[in-house]
Structure 1
Amino acid sequence: MQRRILIVEDDARLGALLSTHLREQGYGTDILMNGLQVEPEVRRAPPALVLLDATLPGVDGLEVCRQLRRFSDVPIIMASARADEFDRTLGLEAGADDYVCKPFSPRELSARIKALLRRAEGRLAAPPVEGGFRVDDPGRRIGWDDRWLPLTPREYFVLRKLLSRPGQVFTREDLAEGEAVGPRETRIRTVDSHVKNLRRKLAEVRPGAAPIASVYGMGYRFEGEGRPR
């Protein structure tokens, strides 16, 4: 499967050059030119890596990093003309995995991307459970098709519980366990919202698959690889 790199660069010429180079290396690419576009795009279609300019219109690269780290561990390389240690430290503290100074050579960029993708793929080395899912309980993460799913803590709980016993029906009461806010009926109804969001995120990874099945009048169950809808 071709890995997609999201290029966030407000210099149209540089963005096009980077895209051409990366496509020649076998990657798919998309280009954004405004920081306000990044979070919605990563939520819609998580890329394999984000190449992020530090200075952007709308929202700067540091704030974009912080936004992404609230819901995703996608690898991020920040690029900036600022080469001093203070700026590099700010970028890494905001959530970037690597920092390159402009101007940089295409060869250096390719090497950094390959190294970072190897590290990211290594984090998915946990043995697969049912249906090809991978569970990292200490990190409270779940992966599918070699991608970590961008889950909220509650979505992690629901999917983890379903994965624990494939084929078993869990009631909404089961899946609402631990919800501390609101009356019982409201907490139970929120389970439907969590499942809806999980299905959307799973479909972004494998379109057409439906590993979470509804059981009328009862609740939900996990169905392995996921039959077509």
Structure 2
Amino acid sequence: MSSHILVVEDEHKIAQLLQDYLHHEGMTSTHLSRGDAVEPWLAQQHADLILLDVMLPAVSGLELCKRIRQNANIPIMLVTARTEEIDRLLGLELGADDYICKPFSPREVVARVKTVLRRCQQPALNTTHLSPLKLDRASYQAWLHGHNLELTAVEFLLLATLVEHPTRIFNREQLMNLIYQDHRVVADRTIDSHIKKIRRKISQILPNQELIHSLYGVGYKYEWTGL
């Protein structure tokens, strides 16, 4: 089945160009030109990935990225003419999977769409089998090279969230929303404290291997290099 891409772009020529290249690569697409049309469309339709322009009428792409990411893990690639580093970091912090700056090569956009789709559509268990880390959600237990990490329930949920979305960067708010689904009020640095404890337990077994990586000012990701 071909992947369906939602193209959210208020410049119709750019949208048509992107759709032409996506269709040429065997993908289907839908075009929306206004930010306020996206959430109603997603409530009724499915997209495998969203190409989301930042500067949109009614609702900005950054605001949409934040809203969508609170409720779904649909891959999001931001497309914008705003090239300042702070804008790129903000987009990643809000949950974007990639960031494309205008002007761009349509071929490059399609290539990066394919890369994000491959990364996000991999079965979650593949990562745990390829790495020395094994997770059992039924028992809330994690083993590293056969050693039980003896995680708390919150630590397990945090690690499982990162492991099941390898290389994706999560910010603190996203992780808190996923772990504390009762929407309790917790301090911003609570996630940092849990990450520190998980890293300490991992280092007791793999002292020279970092599995949870930090991107300063953005968030955390899980990545096993195999080294």
With the length of structure 1 as denominator, give the TM-score of the two structures.
0.55
Corresponding residue for residue 192 of structure 2: none
4+ residue segments displaced more than 2 Å: 124-127, 136-140
Shift of 1:126: 3.2
Q: Which is richer in strand?
A: 1
3-state SS of paired residue (1:73): coil
Partner of 1:126: 125
Cα distance in 2 for residues equivalent to 1:64 and 1:115: 22
Are the counterparts in 2 of residues 79 and 102 from structure 1 also a CA contact under 8 Å? yes
Q: Rg bigger for which structure?
A: 1
Name the residue aligned to 2:91. Answer: 91
Residues of 2 paired with 1:37 and 1:94: CA distance?
20
For the pair 1:104 / 2:128, whether they are aligned, the reply is no
> What does residue range 182-197 of structure 1 map to in structure 2 within 5 Å?
none
Q: Partner of 1:21 in structure 2?
A: 21
1:4 Cα deviation after fit: 0.2
SS in 1 for 2:100: strand
User: 1:5-16 to 2 correspondence within 5 Å?
Assistant: 5-16=5-16
8 Å contact from structure 1 (residues 62, 91) kept in 2: yes
Tell me, yes or no, if structure 1 residue 50 matches structure 2 residue 50.
Answer: yes
Partner of 1:46, secondary structure, is coil
Residue 71 of structure 2 aligns to a residue whose secondary structure is coil
Cα deviation, residue 51, structure 1: 0.1
**Superposed CA offset, 1:47-94 (max 9, x none):** 110000000001000000011011100000001101111111111111
Unaligned 5+ runs, structure 2: 127-135, 138-159, 165-181, 183-227
Instruction: Give the aligned CA root-mean-square deviation in angstroms.
Output: 2.4
Q: 1:85-136 deviations in whole A, cap 9, x for unaligned?
A: 11111111111110010010012111111110111012x3438xxxxxxxx9
Structure 1: stretches of 5+ with no match in the other structure: 128-135, 143-178, 180-229
The two structures have a TM-score, normalised by structure 2, of 0.55
What does residue 65 of structure 1 align with?
65
Deviations 1:135-166 (A, max 9, x none): x94449x9xxxxxxxxxxxxxxxxxxxxxxxx
Instruction: Work out whether 1:41 is the aligned partner of 2:41.
Output: yes
Partner of 1:166: none
Percent identity over the alignment is: 44
How big is the shift at 1:46? 2.3
Query: How many angstroms does 1:37 deviate by?
Result: 0.9
**Which residue identity does 1:107 align to in structure 2?**
R
Letter in 2 for 1:53: D
- Aligned to 1:70, the other structure's residue is in SS state helix
Residues 15-37 of structure 1: CA distance to partner in whole angstroms, max 9, x if unpaired?
A: 11111111011100000000011
Give yes or no for contact 1:46–1:74 (8 Å, CA) kept in 2: no
